[in-house]
């Protein structure tokens, strides 16, 4: 379980670094377009390659979600080693290979940027003043338009998310059945109780960060379907995306007792050290 958690945290860390430092995307929803404000722009890296990197990291983060529940499923259900290995390989092939290949093919078919930028302003249902400011922004910035159809990226993303959701639900229901309804004589009541606690913690650890991605996804889908433009909301959605890794790390620490106990013990040591240091400083001043 630990290697999977560490790998998941590393991927979330990479996503946060890309969103907050390397790329810093400025989204122009409802249009599937935007530009970069990060370090890679300062280093003259084309926006297309920054977008490719960001999407690959995001897909890696989303594809990693079933691995946490799959690990619980394999540990609880006690399948044969051959079947367990086969299931892991199949899951990785479905989640990673298909997503990466589909994304590469999709981004390789981006439209001609000159004509796409000329038609970009028609994606927004805004007043005249906002339209003029958007035209100035589009002409001044190195904007990448991914697609001429604003609903196309949302539909492609929803297919991959649906597959990931099916896997998570299958592993969760199967693990729940084995823990609560199927009697295993090899498990003591204490071990079964511990496994139930770990299962609940894993479910919460998956649910809490997923919610932080769900709200931006719902807004972007609504924006693309109805042509709603609000740059303040776009910036807020980007901020929520950037907080995803922090939310998952914090939830992992507080939901799993070993991490939580270690954090509290170290905090207590630091607090006691500061109190002792303050005591000796005050005593020296008095003397």
Asked whether residue 25 carries a pLDDT value surpassing 80, the answer given is: yes
Asked whether residue 259 carries a pLDDT value surpassing 70, the answer given is: yes
Q: What DSSP state is assigned to residue 107?
A: H
Q: What DSSP state is assigned to residue 31?
A: S
Query: Per-residue pLDDT averaged across 79-103, rounded?
Result: 72
Q: What does the pLDDT read at residue 231? A: 83
CA dihedral 79, 80, 83, 86 (to 10 degrees): 110
- Model-level pTM greater than 0.85? no
**DSSP codes of every residue in 121-161:** GGG----HHHHHHHHHHHHHS--EE--SSTTHHHHHHHHHH
Joined tokens for residue 228: 């709603």
Query: Per-residue pLDDT averaged across 167-192, rounded?
Result: 80
Query: Per-residue pLDDT averaged across 137-158, rounded?
Result: 76
The whole-angstrom separation of Cα 60 and Cα 245 is 13
Asked whether residue 279 carries a pLDDT value surpassing 50, the answer given is: no
- Domain limits of the chain? 2-255
Write phi, then psi, for 271 (nearest 5 degrees). Answer: -65, -45
Write phi, then psi, for 191 (nearest 5 degrees). Answer: -65, -40
Going by pLDDT thresholds of 50, 70 and 90, the confidence category of residue 123 is low
Helix (H) or strand (E) holding 185: none
Higher pLDDT, 161 or 78: 161
The whole-angstrom separation of Cα 136 and Cα 134 is 5
Q: What does the pLDDT read at residue 283? A: 41
Q: What does the pLDDT read at residue 78? A: 61
- C-alpha radius of gyration, the chain, whole number: 24
Helix (H, G, I), strand (E, B) or coil at 33: strand
Asked whether residue 286 carries a pLDDT value surpassing 70, the answer given is: no
Write phi, then psi, for 120 (nearest 5 degrees). Answer: -65, -40
Helix (H) or strand (E) holding 109: none
Q: What is the CATH number of domain 2-255?
A: 1.20.1070
Cis omega before residue 222 (within 30°)? no
Residue with tokens 């970069």: 36
Residue with tokens 């000329």: 118
Higher pLDDT, 282 or 243: 243
Joined tokens for residue 8: 């998941």
Q: What does the pLDDT read at residue 18? A: 87
Residue among 12, 63, 61, 19 nearest 37 (CA): 19
Asked whether residue 148 carries a pLDDT value surpassing 50, the answer given is: yes
Q: What does the pLDDT read at residue 11? A: 80
């Amino acid at each position: 379980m630990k290697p999977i958690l560490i790998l998941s945290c590393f991927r979330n860390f990479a996503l946060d670094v890309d969103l907050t430092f390397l790329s810093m995307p400025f989204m122009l929803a409802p249009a599937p377009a935007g530009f970069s404000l990060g370090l890679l722009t300062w280093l003259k890296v084309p926006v297309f390659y920054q977008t490719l990197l960001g999407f690959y990291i995001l897909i890696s983060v989303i594809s990693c979600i079933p691995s946490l529940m799959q690990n619980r499923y394999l540990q609880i259900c006690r399948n044969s080693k051959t079947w367990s290995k086969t299931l892991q390989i199949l899951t990785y092939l479905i989640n990673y290979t298909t997503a990466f290949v589909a994304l590469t093919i999709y981004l390789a078919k981006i439209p001609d940027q000159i004509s796409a930028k000329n038609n970009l302003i028609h994606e927004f249902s805004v007043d005249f003043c906002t339209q003029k400011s958007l035209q100035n922004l589009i002409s001044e910035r190195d904007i990448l338009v991914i697609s001429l159809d604003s609903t196309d990226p949302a539909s492609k993303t929803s297919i991959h998310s649906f597959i990931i959701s099916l896997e998570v639900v299958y592993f969760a229901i199967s693990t729940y059945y084995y823990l609560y309804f199927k009697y295993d004589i090899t498990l003591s009541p204490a071990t079964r109780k511990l496994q139930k606690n770990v299962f609940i913690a894993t479910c919460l650890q998956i649910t809490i960060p997923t919610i932080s991605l769900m709200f931006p996804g719902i807004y972007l889908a609504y924006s693309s379907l109805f042509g709603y433009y609000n740059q303040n909301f776009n910036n807020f959605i980007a901020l929520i995306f950037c907080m995803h890794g922090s939310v998952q790390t914090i939830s992992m620490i507080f939901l799993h007792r070993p991490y939580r106990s270690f954090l509290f013990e170290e905090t207590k040591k630091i607090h006691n050290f500061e109190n002792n240091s303050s005591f000796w400083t005050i005593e020296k001043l008095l003397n």
